[in-house]
Amino acid sequence: MPLSDESLQRPPPQPTKSNVDLRLSLVHGGASFLWRYDPSGPPKSLTRSEIVALTASLAGRPGSLLIGGAEPLERDDLPQLLDDLARQRPTNLGVYTVGRGLSKDTALRLRSAGVKRVHVPFHCARQDAHDWLVGQNGALKAAHRAIRACVEAEIPVTAEISLARPTVAHLAETILVLARLGVRTMHVRRLTADDVDGPTFVSLSPRLSLLGDSLEEAATVALERRVRLSLRDLPVCVAPRLRPLFAAADSELWVMADGSLRSRNASGQGCAACPERPQCAGVPSDYAARFGWEEFSEHEPGPRAQSIERPAETAAGENSVERMVFDWRGPHRVRCEACGDAAADAVKLQQPYEPTRRVRARLVQAARYRPSRLRLVGTDLFAHPQAALLIYDAVRLFAHVEVAGEASALVDWSDLDLRRLKDLRRIDVALYGPDAATHDAHCGIPGAFSAMLRGVANICAKTAIPVGAYAVLHDARLVSAFAEAWASGRLPGEPRFRLSAQGASLDELIDCARALPQGPSKAALVAVLPSCLCAEAGLEVGGPNTALGSQEHLVCGKRTAYEPKSSDPVGAFEICNEGAGTCAWSSCPGIAVGWQSVARAKRWNLSH
């Protein structure tokens, strides 16, 4: 029975209390599968009391318990453990096992102990491929025997199929063999970086953009054999016609050692046509970190063309944008978490910086939108080994390019680099302190202040590129020192302040602004403060609004609104409590994110 577009355009089923799996690992190790034989043995096992305590912490949470993460059948206390778990969460209790030693008698004992289902890894119907993937001879035969034993004992079996590059072509054959064995439920899932080490992950992971045909062929076989097929840990765009078969991102949760629940499919940015959660968790971050995201933004002809949207090249320029923000990941160096743009997930931390080829591909894609101004913003942007060449690529692609970030790496730019970048419109350097001691201590880079000044002096002496600076403030303590340093010429550019998202009191900044003498530093500080507070304090307001207006950036090829990051000279602001419509000052930036005012809170409470 072939697949039809009409039958497969229904939305995917949403997780309910009855079909959410709470996967409890019996070993220390997190959300990883026991899918491959490890000669060194599994991690340290949890004790029976620890497992019972973890299960008790799930009281009140919906879902059915599925234990695994190691070989449960090899535990000496398995009968007692199953008895405890069956009393705590009897509904649809499951066991994940590779099947070694699972006979019909063992299956009958499991059923009598309260086990309602057994999950068995079965990656390929071809013995040489399955045994090679698992890393153990005879693994497929053991899985066959285990499935037959459970079918004879009338225990429902779920086959866990991991997609690997050598076995994807045999997926439909594998589902057919499992259906003949009596398996009625099958989970096809993507291997993640939690399951294998980095080099193995790269060699085994199939390219997601090439999975569509294999998945559709497998779904056809499953439909003909009346098998319940579930696709997990995959973005919907790899096979959009199979949308009803994609499991919701929250339909499988892992019980961590502290009792918290975690989804393996962490939320990521979606492609241009992503339906977003709960239907799709977006582009897998571990996959994109190693293979890039270009395949999720390419327009493919044929029946799956609807999955990805590619910007059309139109003469009218309807896809052009006014301002676009772009960055790339360099070696993480700035110590302050509030000032840095460090990648949060461990996948990105395994690569010290983003490959140059990937950055250039993203620059070409951004050029399709023809932004009138491109802002390169990133704390570690200048620290990339090929930063000068990448900025040169941007200058050749875009008419107006500005750069901002931590700038100690500028000292390494050669005369050739400077000649190439002569058309760069502006460079802004971040200041974390008014002198070398405070700057270097805050950012955690010895000699950063001196290197930044030498780099700026070299640029000013050999090019006509305007160089500015912005002081990042966490509180009001360094305001006067910054103002004095700018007034004496020790800092480059005109005074400019950026309020960190990890801030303090706006009232203290108001007091500092009142104490400053008239001049550029005072005007720069007032420019980032709420105009109403400044007016109440007797400060002169009404200067030009320093906000840049709406900006966009590309994430996985998708145009999304840009929120200023910590390294951006333009800070993030929120609308005042009274609302933008009632603000009497057109130049008011709003309230800086992470800052608060006691005076404003009192006035707001009195007015209500």
pLDDT tens for each residue of 67-86? 887 788 888 899 999 999 99
Q: Please report whether residue 252 resides in a domain.
A: yes
Instruction: Specify whether 262 is located in the same domain as 327.
Output: no
**What's the pLDDT score for residue 195?**
80
User: For the domain that residue 116 is a member of, what is the CATH number?
Assistant: 3.20.20.70
Instruction: Specify whether 228 is located in the same domain as 354.
Output: no
Instruction: Specify whether 199 is located in the same domain as 67.
Output: yes
Instruction: Specify whether 191 is located in the same domain as 334.
Output: no
Q: How far apart are CA 112 and CA 582, in angstroms?
A: 70
The four Cα atoms 142, 231, 8, 155 give a dihedral, to 10 degrees, of 40
Q: Please report whether residue 550 resides in a domain.
A: yes
Q: Please report whether residue 306 resides in a domain.
A: no
CA distances from 228 to 122, 184, 186, 243 (A): 15, 6, 6, 14
CA distances from 121 to 73, 99, 394, 401, 453 (A): 15, 8, 48, 52, 59
- Around Cβ 163, how many Cβ atoms within 10 Å? 23
Instruction: Specify whether 332 is located in the same domain as 450.
Output: yes
pLDDT tens figures, 237-288: 888 889 889 988 778 888 877 777 887 765 566 666 666 666 677 788 888 7
Q: How far apart are CA 201 and CA 220, in angstroms?
A: 28
Q: Please report whether residue 450 resides in a domain.
A: yes
**What's the pLDDT score for residue 291?**
77
Q: What single-letter amino acid sits at 98?
A: V
Strands 401-405 and 426-431, how do they pair? Answer: parallel
Instruction: Specify whether 240 is located in the same domain as 372.
Output: no
Instruction: Specify whether 337 is located in the same domain as 206.
Output: no
Q: Is the dihedral of CA 59, 65, 71, 72 positive or negative?
A: positive
Q: Where are the alpha helices (DSSP H) in 118-170?
A: 127-134, 139-152
Q: Which is nearest to 307 in space by CA: 271, 279, 278?
A: 271
Instruction: Specify whether 349 is located in the same domain as 259.
Output: no
The domain containing residue 491 runs over which residues? 323-607
Q: Which is nearest to 395 in space by CA: 416, 417, 365, 424?
A: 424
| Contact present, 384 and 353 (Cβ < 8 Å) | yes
- Name every residue whose Cβ is closer than 8 Å to that of residue 16 and which is 6 or more positions away in sequence: 62
**What's the pLDDT score for residue 303?**
36
SS3 68: strand
- CA-based max dimension of the chain: 89
Instruction: Specify whether 347 is located in the same domain as 237.
Output: no
Q: How far apart are CA 65 and CA 126, in angstroms?
A: 31
Last residue of a domain, one of 217, 240, 266: 266
- φ and ψ of 553, to 5 deg: -145, 165
**What's the pLDDT score for residue 299?**
36
User: For the domain that residue 446 is a member of, what is the CATH number?
Assistant: 3.20.20
Spans of the chain, pLDDT less than 50: 1-10, 12, 15-17, 299-318, 344-349, 579-581, 600-608
Instruction: Specify whether 450 is located in the same domain as 573.
Output: yes
Q: Please report whether residue 4 resides in a domain.
A: no
Instruction: Specify whether 226 is located in the same domain as 346.
Output: no
| Contact present, 265 and 325 (Cβ < 8 Å) | no
Tracing tokens 């003469």 back to the chain, one arrives at 315
Last residue of a domain, one of 266, 284, 314: 266
- φ and ψ of 64, to 5 deg: -110, 140
**What's the pLDDT score for residue 6?**
46
**What's the pLDDT score for residue 381?**
92
Instruction: Specify whether 357 is located in the same domain as 504.
Output: yes
**What's the pLDDT score for residue 253?**
87
- How many separate domains does the chain show? 2
DSSP 209: G
Q: Please report whether residue 462 resides in a domain.
A: yes
**What's the pLDDT score for residue 160?**
94
Last residue of a domain, one of 221, 237, 266: 266
